[in-house]
Structure formats: structure tokens, C-alpha cells
């Protein structure tokens, strides 16, 4: 499960909202009914995700699926042992990360961007030149319609840093925090990123940051020690999850402009819900864990 624990910011005062209602549906690749995660969705409703828990012999296998959601298409870095497809834009460019091993832990991660060229695809896996960790850790987690990727990498000391990568220019920009680790997890068309940051006391906040870096706003659900923002749309609405006092994960729908937030739990997610991505048409994707411990892909429709 991609749950990032990263480093330092201040909380905003927020209030719970009750204007929206949510409709849930389960969407699993039948190749694995026990473990699916849906991670990104574009405005055409095309979804990317993966199946496989990463346990030994149970590797991550990336895929995408479009309405009417009857055919799963492979999205795997050529030659990889594991792939997670994490984000997709309206032109079908996808972001993610892959691994050359399936050790059940301690696998290296390599960020990638997949560009559709005709009926073929070109993978770019060199968008993380500053990575120095052992094993190598670099993940591309979000992509906007200008083909700008957002993600994070780990340095030689194990600290993580947010990055953006622009396909058209090859420009690679990192974001660092003093005495802290940080990750970008999503990016919208204006270049506003969302991400996570963790204090020295191991309290995790979500944040949003505009393209110029002039506005940095952090958010934590009151009482939660772990709040993470994982996706952002063009209206600035964010999604993610938070943990409660029993360490149970709850899906999160948060509007930074108003400070309003909502808990979004799948009715069958008795062992936790995570919202990982959203588009500009009030559609969310994520996953939940059922009573038997199986992880299921989930599509959520938001009604005003």
C-alpha cells in the first residue's frame, strides 16, 4: 500500500462539511480478487491502478480501464517485475513506478512516464537523477494535462524530496524542506501540487503548494496523527485519507479554499478506505479493505 510518511508544517483550522453525498462501486481486475488499488482517473473516466500485494510471488501488475469498465489493459514498464500505474491525464499519458525485483519488501522503485505514440507507448524512466538511496526509491505519482509529473525520491540519507518533471523540456525540479522529508503526490493543470509532510514528532500533514511556491497550506484532520493528501483537481479539491485513534484509515475529501472536509468511507470498507485520485467531473478512485482483509478497487461519484 502506498501510504507515505514524510516531514514538517503547521495545521489549519478546519470544519467538517455535509453538502456532498457519495455513491460507491467496486471495480476489481478479475486476475486478482484479493488485492486491487485504483490510483488515478482522467476526465474521460479512464482509470489506472494495479493488482498484487507486492508479497513474494504476488507482484504489483499495472493496468488501466476505460468506460464501460469491461476490459483491463496492461500498463507495465517493459522488463519490469512489478509496476504501479498511479496517474493518467486526458491525453492518456500515465505516470507510475516500477521495480526489477519482487522481494516482498526492500524492492527498489524507479519512476516512469508513459507517452502514447500512435498505437505504441514510450516509457521514460530517467526522471529522477538525484536519487541516492539504497535501495533506490523514486515514484512518479501524479501527472497533469501539460505532461508535468509530480512525485518524490529518497536521497542517500533516506530523506525524501518532492519533484516535478516536465516532459516537453526535460526540466527536473526538486523541493526540499529544512530538516524534513517531503513528497509531491498530485498536480493539477495550474501546477498546484499536493503532498505530505511529517514533523519530527511523526505527525503527518497534507499540504497544497502553488506553482510559484508562494502559497503553502497544510492540513490535518483534528486529532489525527496521519493525514495525507494524494490527489488534486483543477478546482483545488483534494482527496486522500487520515487515520483515527485506532489507526483505521478513512477516505478524505478536502477543499482547501474553504477548509471544509468530509470523511468518505466505503460501506464495505470495515478495515479502512483510501481515496487516491480524482478528476474534474466529481469522480474519485481509491480502494478499501473488507472484513476478510481483501483490498478492492473503488470508484466514487460525488453528488452536490
CA 275 vs CA 45, 91, 132, 200: distances in Å: 16, 23, 30, 26
Question: Of the candidates 234, 257, 238, 239, which has an alpha carbon nearest to the alpha carbon of residue 188?
Answer: 234
Contact yes or no for 147/166 (Cβ under 8 A):
yes
Residue 270 has pLDDT above 90, yes or no: yes
State the Cα–Cα distance between residues 23 and 14, nearest whole angstrom: 24
State the Cα–Cα distance between residues 31 and 18, nearest whole angstrom: 37
Contact yes or no for 286/273 (Cβ under 8 A):
yes
Residues 6+ apart with CB under 8 A from 247: none
State the Cα–Cα distance between residues 139 and 157, nearest whole angstrom: 17
Q: Provide the pLDDT for residue 2.
A: 35
Provide the β-strand partners of residue 284: 278, 300
**Domain chopping of the chain, boundaries:** 15-32+101-106+122-303
Record the cell numbers describing residue 260, joined without a space: 471544509
Residue 115 has pLDDT above 50, yes or no: yes
Percent of the chain with pLDDT over 90: 76
Q: Please report which confidence band the pLDDT of residue 181 belongs to, taking 50, 70 and 90 as the band edges.
A: confident
Record the cell numbers describing residue 99, joined without a space: 521495480
State the Cα–Cα distance between residues 197 and 169, nearest whole angstrom: 28
CA 67 vs CA 26, 143, 298: distances in Å: 14, 20, 14
Mean pLDDT score, 142-163? 93
CATH number of 15-32+101-106+122-303: 2.120.10.30
Amino acid at each position: 500500500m502506498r501510504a507515505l510518511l514524510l516531514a514538517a508544517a503547521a495545521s489549519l483550522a478546519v470544519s467538517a462539511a455535509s453538502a456532498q453525498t457519495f455513491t460507491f462501486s467496486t471495480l476489481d481486475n478479475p486476475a486478482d480478487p484479493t488485492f486491487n488499488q485504483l490510483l488515478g482517473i482522467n476526465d474521460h473516466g479512464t482509470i489506472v491502478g494495479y493488482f498484487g500485494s507486492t508479497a513474494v510471488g504476488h507482484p504489483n501488475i499495472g493496468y488501466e480501464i476505460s468506460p464501460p469498465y469491461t476490459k483491463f489493459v496492461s500498463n507495465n514498464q517493459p522488463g519490469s517485475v512489478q509496476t504501479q500505474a498511479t496517474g493518467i491525464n486526458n491525453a492518456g499519458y500515465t505516470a507510475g513506478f516500477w521495480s526489477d525485483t519482487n522481494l516482498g519488501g526492500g524492492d527498489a522503485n524507479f519512476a516512469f512516464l508513459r507517452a502514447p505514440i500512435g498505437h505504441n507507448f514510450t516509457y521514460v524512466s530517467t526522471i529522477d537523477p538525484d536519487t541516492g538511496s539504497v535501495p533506490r526509491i523514486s515514484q512518479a505519482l501524479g501527472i497533469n494535462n501539460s505532461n508535468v509529473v509530480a512525485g518524490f525520491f529518497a536521497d542517500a540519507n533516506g530523506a525524501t524530496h518532492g519533484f516535478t518533471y516536465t516532459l516537453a523540456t526535460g526540466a527536473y525540479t526538486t523541493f526540499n524542506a529544512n530538516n524534513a522529508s517531503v513528497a509531491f503526490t498530485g498536480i493539477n493543470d495550474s501546477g498546484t501540487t499536493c503532498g505530505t509532510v511529517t514533523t519530527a514528532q511523526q505527525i503527518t500533514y497534507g499540504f497544497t503548494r502553488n506553482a510559484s511556491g508562494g502559497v503553502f497550506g497544510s492540513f490535518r484532520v483534528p486529532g489525527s496523527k496521519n493525514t495525507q493528501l494524494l490527489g488534486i483537481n483543477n478546482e483545488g479539491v483534494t482527496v486522500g485519507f487520515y487515520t483515527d485513534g485506532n489507526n483505521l484509515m478513512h477516505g478524505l475529501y478536502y477543499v482547501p479554499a474553504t477548509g471544509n472536509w468530509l470523511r468518505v468511507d466505503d460501506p464495505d470498507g470495515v478495515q479502512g478506505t483510501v481515496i487516491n485520485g480524482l478528476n474534474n467531473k466529481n469522480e474519485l478512485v481509491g480502494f478499501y479493505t473488507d472484513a476478510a482483509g481483501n483490498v478492492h478497487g473503488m470508484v466514487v461519484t460525488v453528488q452536490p
